[in-house]
């Protein structure tokens, strides 16, 4: 092989590898993005059916009901609430009246969570939960000024 051909071959190989890797990465990226919706958006029917997404807000006080491994609670953004169902152990910082983020699907008027996240600091509001509260407060208009709890 002539040196020129050889170099061309190496360049082509590198470009092909980079191209394939990029395609792979972008494809995986596209199909694994998890979007966030607030309880109000869910109530307004903005959630695509059958897709995994995240919902965030506060755990409504008095809403947690445990039955063996199954647990049900209500997530609220102070304007709207959605019921959530979950199987298994809740994180340490899961508490009524505190921020929470759940990941899962919407099914039969209920959010089926595959994962419940609460962050490891009592003062720290999960960003998604804070966002849901902010949006709800905004939609109520300036009449009800709202500060993010925990900040």
Partner 1 sequence: MIPELGHFLLWLALGVALVLGILPLAGAARSRAAWMALARPAAYLLFVLVALSFACLTASFVRHDFSVLYVASHSNSALPLPYRVAAVWGGHEGSLLLWLLMLCAWMVAVARFSRHLPLPVLARTLAVMGLVGVGFLLFTLTTSNPFERLFPASADGQDLNPLLQDPGMVFHPPLLYMGYVGFSVAFAFAIAALIGGNLDATWARWTRPWTSVAWMFLTLGIALGSWWAYYELGWGGWWFWDPVENASFMPWLTGTALIHSLAVTEKRGSFKSWTALLAILAFSLSLLGTFLVRSGVLSSVHAFATDPRRGLFILAFLTVTVGASLALYAWRAPRVGLGARFALVSRESMLLCNNVLLLAAAGAVLLGTLYPLMLDALALGKISVGPPYFESVFMPLMSLTVFLMGIGPLARWKQAELPDLARRLRWAAGVAIAVALAAGSLAGRVSLVATLGLWMAFWIAASLATDLWETVWPAGGALAELPHRLAQVPRARWGMMLAHLGVAFFCFGVVMVKTYELERDVKMELGDSTTVGGYTFVFKGVREAAGPNYTALQGLIEIRRGDRRLPDMRPEKRVYRVQQNPMTEAAIATGLTRDLYVSLGEPVGGGAWIVRVYVKPFIDWIWGGCLMMALGGLLAASDRRYRARRRSEQVEPAALAPGTSA
Interface with partner 1 (CB under 8 A): 1, 3, 6, 9-10, 13-14, 17-18, 21-22, 24-25, 28-29, 32-36, 54, 66, 68-69, 87-90, 92-93, 103, 119-122, 124, 127-128, 130-131
Least Å distance between CB 141 and partner 1? 19
Place of tokens 């807000």: 57
What is the token pair recorded at 10? 């190496």
Least Å distance between CB 87 and partner 1? 8
First-to-final CA distance of the chain? 67
Place of tokens 């699907």: 105
Smaller CB separation from partner 1, 83 or 95: 95
Smaller CB separation from partner 1, 21 or 144: 21
Least Å distance between CB 37 and partner 1? 9
Contacts of 47-50 spanning 24+ positions with Cβ under 8 A: 47/106, 49/106, 50/105
Rounded Cα–Cα distance for residues 74 and 65 (Å): 10
Smaller CB separation from partner 1, 80 or 103: 103
């Amino acid at each position: 092989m002539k040196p020129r051909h050889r170099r061309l071959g190496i360049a082509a190989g590198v470009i092909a590898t980079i191209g394939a890797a990029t395609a792979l990465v972008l494809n995986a990226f596209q199909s694994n993005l998890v979007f966030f919706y607030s309880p109000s958006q869910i109530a307004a029917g903005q959630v695509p059916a059958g897709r995994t997404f995240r919902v965030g807000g506060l755990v409504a006080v008095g809403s947690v009901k445990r039955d063996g491994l199954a647990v049900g609670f209500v997530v609220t953004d102070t304007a709207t609430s959605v019921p959530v169902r979950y199987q298994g152990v809740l994180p340490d910082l899961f508490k009524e009246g505190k921020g929470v983020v759940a990941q899962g699907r919407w099914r039969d008027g209920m959010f089926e969570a595959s994962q419940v996240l609460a962050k490891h600091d009592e003062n720290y509001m999960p960003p998604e939960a804070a966002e849901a509260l902010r949006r709800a407060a905004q939609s109520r208009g300036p009449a009800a000024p709202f500060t993010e709890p925990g900040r």
